Structure 1
């Protein structure tokens, strides 16, 4: 017997095994989302909403199936926050943390999260082509009235795309950036009312009156207030006006209360052709920041 024959038989068996190995599937998918870039105004009474897109792109080999089921989910970002699924940050402390949420259906409806119940789900259909894509719209929302520092807050959201690749599933984990630009703003949250004097000719004491107002400015925003005039004449009565806090102020994110104080000095005659006379003039209060 030839002692080399067993080796020849073993080599032939090995070649036969290699020749019958199953071909690997060539289906490859990935997902790309548009960057989420929001501009936030704290004094807007409505939530800040945005709409964005995420596209799943797939390619396959000529012998691969013409369809592939998929699911796509999004995590809570790098900085999960209590009471909200996501949080963009720029520093430490609550004034430097901006909560936001992502949705599949509409702003505030159909959370897009990291569970089966909150996935985008569907099927990629190639037909006869070797490439195919599916696009979904997703939404962002920031609640109104947050009190945050004026700065840019950032986050990164990681998605999980799962698709059918031959005998098993394949997961890929693309990301997209989130930025929220919190604009520095001030407004008269309570405009001033009328400063109303009641004065009798030659009265022995000054007449005083005041009007309250409130200013709301972003945390840390400095601002000043000024009247277009601090003195004038009504019915030949000289009056003066002054702000309760004439110096520079710093916003807290909440309404800050002030008054406009007016005085008519005692002993003035005035001009009136009847038992009672009235007169009015408009003044302008300017808030600069």
Structure 2
């Protein structure tokens, strides 16, 4: 009987210990990136800092940190060791991911970007950490077609020895990156009586931006004062992307009701010039 118990006890200990050890492990649940968006002027170079985010969860009894590494592939349209973003016409622009802003070491193949998430003492739950990489166009290229050149790069996260998690980075290169004013705004004239009702007037501006490219339109200041009367400038909702054709936006000036003004006589006039800025 004594010999039998010596043989069984190690097995029982193994059964008791191993499941507990398997549970004491941090779990990573997300590998994501907001993507890469490059506004590219043909025959130039470009460098853009980008990020991917890793989310991992710690439970009570787990280690207080987890280290991980992330690999990137060559995207959906590789050309040898280079990535290519493709236009609907079939035209391409070559770009690559790099581990530093100098654009010297390509992030692909066996190259990894590594980082660590550490929880404060006693803390549990999820933590998300962002890590930088760079998208670069390191050789000047033409843009045979106007619009968006797109690609998708696959990522693979490895942590905890052999645990893996997939992710992707969407790549959009807009070329040639260009916005033009197709119809300039006119003047806005407002006639206001002291302590009167609200008065508003408007004008329009036409803008033509590269198809698919995000842009915004803004005024130099949100409001101003003329003859003691406060007025507010507002813009109609800006389309999130260009369409490769003119888009019309409305600029409105509004004088709120109930203002006295500071005219020295029965009536007076004043003007002010504002600047509209297109950002892309």
* Residue 109 (structure 1) aligned with residue 94 (structure 2): no
* Residue 40 (structure 1) aligned with residue 40 (structure 2): yes
SS, match of residue 81 in structure 1: coil
Give runs of aligned pairs for residues 124-135 of structure 1, distance below 5 A: 124-128=117-121, 129-130=123-124, 131-135=126-130
Which residue matches 2:134? 139
Give runs of aligned pairs for residues 185-196 of structure 1, distance below 5 A: none
Which residue matches 2:224? none
Give runs of aligned pairs for residues 1-289 of structure 1, distance below 5 A: 22-23=19-20, 24-25=22-23, 26-29=25-28, 30-43=30-43, 46-82=44-80, 84-91=81-88, 93=90, 96-115=91-110, 118-128=111-121, 129-130=123-124, 131-142=126-137, 143-164=139-160, 168-183=161-176
Q: Distance in 1 between matches of 2:84 and 2:135?
A: 12
Stretches of structure 1 that go unaligned for 5 or more consecutive residues are 1-14, 186-289
Q: Distance in 2 between matches of 1:175 and 1:65?
A: 28
Q: Distance in 1 between matches of 2:135 and 2:13?
A: 57
Q: CA deviation at 1:18?
A: 7.2
Q: Distance in 1 between matches of 2:169 and 2:76?
A: 11
Q: CA deviation at 1:156?
A: 0.7
Q: Residues 254-274 of structure 1: CA distance to partner in whole angstroms, max 9, x if unpaired?
A: xxxxxxxxxxxxxxxxxxxxx
Q: CA deviation at 1:32?
A: 1.9
Q: CA deviation at 1:107?
A: 4.3
Q: Distance in 2 between matches of 1:34 and 1:147?
A: 25
Q: How many residues align?
A: 162
Given that 2:158 and 2:165 are in contact with CA atoms closer than 8 Å, whether structure 1 keeps it comes out as yes
Q: RMSD across aligned C-alpha pairs, in angstroms?
A: 2.7
Q: Tell me the TM-score normalised to structure 1 length.
A: 0.50
Q: 1:51 to 1:147 in 2, by over 3 A?
A: same
Q: Distance in 2 between matches of 1:106 and 1:21?
A: 45
Given that 2:97 and 2:134 are in contact with CA atoms closer than 8 Å, whether structure 1 keeps it comes out as yes
Q: Distance in 2 between matches of 1:16 and 1:47?
A: 63
Q: Distance in 1 between matches of 2:120 and 2:35?
A: 30
Q: Tell me the TM-score normalised to structure 2 length.
A: 0.51
Q: CA deviation at 1:60?
A: 1.4
Q: 1:138 to 1:81 in 2, by over 3 A?
A: same
Given that 2:47 and 2:134 are in contact with CA atoms closer than 8 Å, whether structure 1 keeps it comes out as yes
Structure 1 runs, 4 residues or longer, greater than 2 Å off: 15-21, 23-26, 90-93, 131-135, 145-148
